[in-house]
Every structure is written in structure tokens, then in C-alpha cells.
Amino acid sequence: MSLDAYLGSKLSALRAQNLFRDPADAAARDVVAATAARLEVPFLDASSNDYLGLAGRRPGNVSRETSPQVGAGASRLVNGGRPEHTALERALADWVKLPEALLFTSGFAANVGTVSALAAEESVVISDQLNHASLIDGCRLARAQVLVVPHLDLAALESALSAARAVPVRWVVTESYFSMDGDGPDLAALRALCDRHRAFLVVDEAHALGVFGPGGAGRCAEQGIVPDVLVGTLGKAVGSQGAFVAGSSTLRTFLWNRARSFVFSTAPSPELCARTLEQVRLVREGDADREKLHHLCSALRQALAERSVPVLASSFGPIVPVVLGTAERALRVADALRAVGILAQPIRPPTVPEGTARLRLTVSTRFTENDVGRLADAVARACAE
């Protein structure tokens, strides 16, 4: 069964119970306002949560055409939909080459809401051991059986899929670029494995979006695979705030109805969405910046290796984990760096497994070659001390 057929059956059940929420209703505000204008009566909005009338405020005395309003005033299902939301969603879907996208207030909200909505009683979810807390919590809130497999272990994943072959619906959930280890799965092999076992693939591209792939479209695009569900965030390489889930039109409609972190959240700021649309354009056009970034990443890894600093061997890209072992040592090294004007966060359990406390170095295009050398020298000295 295809994902659209599976979700379509659930949407049909909602319609039969008169519980279906039509995404087209997001435009109801404009329709009713037009009706009021035709009747020559004032438009009265009795559905917004904008109790003091501040959400619709715009800087100075500017028109709607020149400045979007600050707040949405309500959830998208109630009255919070604005043209800025749909414009950004169209751009995001086009970026990752999927039919549609749905905005969420954060990456955490997107993952928790999506996984918990999709993974119903008749499902099994197979989750990578090092998946982000938002994916883990989504699994915990789901009604499905959850199986955790060792990090990036395709053989273990295949065994889990084989063991679950009698379960009607199987979900494989992974990050494309893991935020603490700076590594990622072979997505092409993962897609082939899911296809062979008729499983659906959910990929969180949070730290890959903007950094990898053509136009920064992520590691799925880089490896030429299409996930069933793609999650992207806007608060990392895009430099804004919020997140989105991309996939089929049926997926978007299903999440509109059933992702609780979407249904029960005030819609993102229209003003922020308008600004984010421009940020997305800049990221898509930023091939020169991406080339510089990856050059600096390689230079830092080489410099650390020359100084015998223990970088996680499987890592690549802008996340450079320096594994130090104990939480005490990680704190001590981070403090030594702060003393010379360098901020590098110590990552300790439970964020990472016991015995793998680390510095999480992140590379930026703001760095120069001299910055890379200074950072490597400082880390080497701090580790030696």
C-alpha cells in the first residue's frame, strides 16, 4: 500500500465522522471579509486569539502591501492562515523537490507532531539509536511499537524490518546528518531497504538543509533519493526560525488534521515568514558559501589531526565532534577555550552516551583560515592540559 492510500483511508474515516479539517478553510478569513465588503458592513473577526489587537500591528503607518503583520493571531485551523505562510510553504516544497510542505513552529514540534501522528496502533517504528530527542519523544507519544536499532547499522535495520514483516505499516526514522556525531546514513541504501520491505522512510534533514546537496536542498537531494516524509528546519543554515514537513498533498492534509503540535499551536509570525522566504532564496543561491564552508571543514579536520586531537572518525561536514570521554574533562577543556576567547560547548550525557562527552565544534563561513588554525591550536593545548 502506498503512503497516500494509507493516509487517505484515515482521512476518509475523519470525513465519515464529520471531523475532517479542510486546509482550504485557512482562507476563510479573506472570504468572509470579502462577503462583509460586498454587504457594505464592517468585517468582524470573532475567531482570533489576538485579544489586544496587537498581532495585526505593523511598524509605523504602513500598509499590508509593504509590511506583513507581526502575529498570526490563531492556529492555522482556526483563523491564523496568512498568504505569507503559503508562499513560504510553496518555496520550501520547491526547494526540496516535493509536492507540498507544512510549516511548524519549530523542529521539535515538527518531529514530535509528525511521528506521533503517523505511527498508529497498526504500525512499528524503527528508530536509529542516536536520533534526536524530538524524534525519540515522537516515538514515545506514538501508539506504535518502537524498535531501536544501533546507530547506522543497516544489517540490524534489515533484521528489524524482517522481524516486523507481519505488521501492516512499518516506519523507518532517521536523521540525514546527526547533530552530535556529525555523521549520516547511506540514504540510497536506506531507501532501497525500505522499498524492499515496503516500509515508509522519514528523514530529518535539520542539520543538512542548506549545507549539502544541490542548492543546499539536503542529503536526500545529494544522494538522489525521495523520502516519504522529509523534515527540515529553518533555524540552522537558513538563519531564521521554525520548521516544515514536506511530502505528498495527502501527507500535508493528514498532518493538518492530526499533528497535535500543528493543530494546537498559533501559526508562525507572518512577518517572520516573509523574511524567511528571502533567507531561503539566499541559501539556495549560496553555492559559493557552501564551497567555502566545506573547504574550512576539511581544513579544520586536517589541522586537528596534525595536532593529534581525537575527532570522531566517521564525522564529516560542519559538525566536528572532539570526543573527550568524561563530562569533567569536557567541561575543563571548554573552560580553557573560553579563557582564550573561544566558545565551544561541552556536550555531556544524556545528550550523548556515557563515556563519550565531547566538544561539539561547528564550522561557519564566518571563519577565516587563520581562525581555523587558532581554533585547532587552542583545542590541542586545552586537551593536552
CA–CA distances in Å: residue 272 to residues 69, 116, 162, 232, 269? 9, 27, 45, 17, 5
Catalytic residue among 207, 228, 248, 271: 207
Closest CA relative to residue 279, chosen from 228, 224, 242, 245: 242
Q: Residue 266 has which C-alpha cell? A: 498559533
The separation between CA 235 and the C-alpha centre of its own chain, rounded to angstroms, equals 9
Catalytic residue among 236, 248, 257, 261: 236
Active-site residue 151, yes or no?
Answer: no
Catalytic residue among 79, 85, 116, 132: 132
Q: Are 110 and 268 in contact (CB under 8 A)?
A: no
Q: Count of CB atoms within 10 A of residue 260's CB?
A: 14
**Cell 539556495 found at:** 284
The separation between CA 259 and the C-alpha centre of its own chain, rounded to angstroms, equals 15
Q: Whats the size of the chain, residue-wise?
A: 385
Q: Are 36 and 43 in contact (CB under 8 A)?
A: yes
Active-site residue 295, yes or no?
Answer: no
Sheet order of strands, 319-325 included: 319-325, 357-362, 345-347
Catalytic residue among 175, 183, 205, 222: 175
Q: Are 130 and 312 in contact (CB under 8 A)?
A: no
Active-site residue 249, yes or no?
Answer: no
Active-site residue 175, yes or no?
Answer: yes
Q: Are 228 and 42 in contact (CB under 8 A)?
A: no
CA–CA distances in Å: residue 105 to residues 70, 162, 242? 15, 36, 5
Active-site residue 18, yes or no?
Answer: no
Catalytic residue among 106, 123, 134, 179: 179
Catalytic residue among 48, 49, 75, 159: 49
**DSSP assignment of 91-126:** HHHHHHT-SEEEEES-HHHHHHHHHHHH--TTEEEE
**Cell 566538544 found at:** 359
The DSSP secondary-structure symbol of 167 reads S
Catalytic residue among 181, 183, 204, 228: 204
Catalytic residues: 49, 132, 175, 179, 204, 207, 236
